[in-house]
Amino acid sequence: MESSCQIRALSSILIIVYKKQKKYKRVMEMLDCLELKAYGKINLGLDVLGRRENGYHDVRMVMQTVYLYDQIRIEKTKKPGIELSTNLFYLPVNENNLAYQAADLLMKEFDVKEGVKITLDKHIPVAAGMAGGSSNAAAVLFGINRMFSLGLSQKELMERGVTLGADVPYCVMRGTVLAEGIGEILTPLPACPKCHVLIAKPPISVSTKLVYEKLDSHEIEDHPDIDGIIDGLKAHDIEKVASSMGNVLEKVTIEEYPVIEQIKNVMKEHGALNAMMSGSGPTVFGIYDSKEKARKAAAKIREKQLAKQVYVTGIHNARRK
């Protein structure tokens, strides 16, 4: 009888161990391939305080993640090195791509012997003031860290991210954030109230470098009400947030591309609480309290052929620990 009980007990232990091993194996297999979302951003407010001797600018910005994203697939390969592909033929797939640079940065630092295959499925407008490239880099940093169990914290990923670009640390953090310095000093803010966001990118590309260079030749007279935006966030008042929005780069970019002002006007005429250019442009976004209003404005922008890339979406608030 004892022998029978012992056999049954041993069998139960073996089954438990087998199930745990199978579960562990499935987890490890999952880490051979990761699928990630790299979210775009808008600037609810963008102020430039001055220019440093090294050419960088001191800024004060309120940044917000939106629910428009690129899809990134990272696969572990036995062959060393980085293989990158994308659905957009005109994007580089070598060391000139920020996603490639992000993988290369961590894999060299931690002497990763295996390789990775990275596939970018792009939906965020390119060269549009929405940090698409920086968001891709941030997602790859997160993915490589997790895939190879490097053990880096969010702060450590952000510290490495700033070497790739000023927006990368924010894209690692995500959510509603006050960005200062050159954009790398980040302070989480109260989450933006729920609203609908209309995004429209006209068929032009803008050089951030040239916009900032031209800004240097202008005297900034009207600074956006960054503190007003923050007060609106604290009060959970989307109308206060919207009415305080402003971007000092708009004047420079609109002088070159009047279509940006045209898109803003259409959005406001069709119910936007406010509309503004994001970053250095040319993407324009409108804040709406009604999805129906946003959709009607989107249809009007398409009808007037002001932009082909037009999206009605929402904000994406990051979870804070």
Task: Please give the positions annotated as active site.
Answer: 41, 167
* Distances 44 to 122, 158, 199 between C-alpha atoms, Å: 23, 22, 13
Which H helix or E strand runs over 231?
Answer: helix 226-234
| 234, burial (CB in 10 Å: exposed 0-12, middle 13-18, buried 19+) | exposed
- 224 contacts 209 by C-beta, under 8 angstroms: no
Query: Which residue, chain included where needed, has tokens 């002001």?
Result: 306
Cα atoms found within 13 Å of the Cα of residue 65, Cβ hemisphere only: 27
Residues with Cβ within 8 Å of 213's Cβ and at least 6 positions away in sequence, in order, are none
> Could you give the CA distance from residue 99 to residue 159 in angstroms, rounded to a whole number?
16
> Could you give the CA distance from residue 225 to residue 247 in angstroms, rounded to a whole number?
10
Query: Which residue, chain included where needed, has tokens 């999952």?
Result: 30
Q: Which two tokens stand for residue 300?
A: 């009007």
How many residues are recorded in the chain? Answer: 321
Identify residue 158 by its one-letter amino acid code: M
* Distances 259 to 110, 256, 266 between C-alpha atoms, Å: 47, 9, 11
